[in-house]
Amino acid sequence: MRHDLVFRNAFLVDGSGAPARTADVCIDADRVTAIEQAGTATAGTRTIDADGLLLTPGFVDVHTHYDAQATWDPFVTPSGWHGVTTTVMGNCGVGFAPAAPDRHEWLIQLMEGVEDIPGSALAEGIKWGWETYPEYLDALEELPRVMDIGSLIGHGPLRAYVMGDRGAANEQATSDDIAEMSRLVAQALRAGAYGFSTSRTPIHRAKNGELVPGTNADERELLGIAAGIAQAGHGVFQFAPDHALVPVSEWPWMRKVAKLTGQTVSVNLNQPDSAPDLWREVLALLDQAHDDGLAIVAQVAGRSIGILYCLQGSVHPLMFHPAYQEIASLPLGERLAALAEPERRRRIIDDVPDDGGLFKSAIINHLDKMWCVSDGNIDYEPTADTSVAATAERQRVPAMQLLLDQLTALDGNGMLYAPFFNYSYGDLSFTEAVSRHPHTRMGLSDGGAHCGAICDGGMPTFMLTHWTRDRTRGPKLSIEHIVKRQTSDTASLYGLADRGTITPGLRADLNLIDYDRLSFDAPRMAYDLPAGGRRLVQKATGYVGTWVAGVQTVDHDEFTGATPGRLLRAGRP
């Protein structure tokens, strides 16, 4: 039999967790059709010599925010640069459906505030052609793209659609409100949504400072919505918690939701400095839930969640200083010239602004957890002796001088990295521990979001480079484990049974990777969103090819132009 495509002598990590092996992998149309002993498969219509190259399933990223971008961007970047072949969006209670015609601007400012996506880009990029959630899915289905996408219905737009200003203002829902939200959730799930998402963290706020609708929803409302999931017969209940309160106030209703729906509850798990060891209690609660037959999992990131400070970003250390505020609105080149003026430079270095303590608490007290980003490189597991505080002390210069010099370096493109979750121990030992736990799932890359402050959409590449190859500050994780966490484990979370492993009969979603050369650029600011909106981007190097349903979408780190991706609808073939 002559196959359409044969990978010969590939180093195969098939996504199941089984030991890596060298094999020939055969593809016909959109399916894997055979895995044969290395070097024995007959030549295909196209045969690729994969000797020395890593072959994995395509990555399945279940925590992104492409809800708007997916309506205009067929390449779904940055995820499309990093081997992702399936993504799930609509997380954390925000999104753009259902959307009453007079709520468009409100939904934009909600997403802008929570996920730091420029409102001007959203306003220009979204071509509103829907009101209900099923109509939103129909609109998504019309655009070709490089990967498959699935979507969740968010609590924020749902509450505002049903309750209007009362919902937006987080007023208590009535019984009628809850019944209607339950009905619309069931409707969305039947139309193909993969679940429901909400946010219960005070960190998530709209541009106007208001909490995301649903943040303070009581148990009646949450269980009422869960009833809609039960009625539809499928759907993950995903939420972002107040991390310090998960075991205390959230766990009882989470268990009730899991029991009522018979479906998975997925809670984001990070390590805040205010409660650095609380994660141990959460893992114990996960074990107890599974012992009780309740499908509750924790979604965890693969590294610290950190802010990238830069002059073109959403936030940086100078913006709190009056000497900087005087020139903040100037174009970058003029700002750099003004920052080089001796008197302004002296004021920034020597003066501490009287701003009610914000500057001191946000910057001065955390210099020991802030690092300079070298040109062309970023260290995601830096040591304390290279922090801004340690470096300033060693060089015997004021810390503000070091910050100023770093931010104005590289023609104003210098960056600082400041982890705010998952680095309480000064290394990634928390992440290592939770990544080994059987009831956690890989997520929180936030692809498409946090455009001016966080750049984690490249996390799938980082998982391979750091955890299986490059880590020096602790144990590495096996390549089989890391690939499984990004493929079959994440696919199974949303019931995507046709992908996630390289197995005969499953979809030919694949990555062919030059493992030794695999890397990623340092983050940089690009102005490539609609209306010239800015975003931090980080491209990868080493993807020899990515295939979606047997069609090559990436060739040596560049898109081929093929767009075989489609909208996935839960419960449908």
Note the pLDDT of residue 365: 77
Tell me: cis bond preceding 530? Omega within 30 of 0 counts.
Answer: no
Where exactly are the structural domains of the chain? 59-303+424-481, 307-420
Spatial CB neighbours of 478, under 8 Å, sequence gap ≥ 6: 468
Cα separation values, 531 from 102, 139, 140, 524, Å: 22, 21, 21, 18
Homologous superfamily of domain range 59-303+424-481: Metal-dependent hydrolases (3.20.20.140)
Q: CA nearest 199: which of 151, 256, 164, 250?
A: 250
Residue with the two structure tokens 């499928």: 234
Ranges of the chain whose pLDDT falls below 70: 354-362
Per-residue model confidence as pLDDT tens digits over 273-318: 999 999 999 999 999 999 999 999 999 999 999 999 999 999 999 9
Cα separation values, 137 from 191, 194, 229, 486, Å: 8, 11, 18, 25
Per-residue model confidence as pLDDT tens digits over 265-276: 999 999 999 999
Backbone dihedral angles phi then psi of residue 51, each to the nearest 5 degrees: -60, 125
Spatial CB neighbours of 41, under 8 Å, sequence gap ≥ 6: 3, 6, 8, 24, 26, 34
Q: Is 374 helix (H, G, I), strand (E, B) or coil?
A: coil
Backbone dihedral angles phi then psi of residue 100, each to the nearest 5 degrees: -65, 145
Residue 190, token pair as written in the block? 């039947």
Element (H, E) at 537: strand 533-537
Note the pLDDT of residue 527: 97
Note the pLDDT of residue 362: 66
Buried b (16+ CB within 10 A) or exposed e, 119-146: bbbbbebbeeebebbbebbebbeebebb
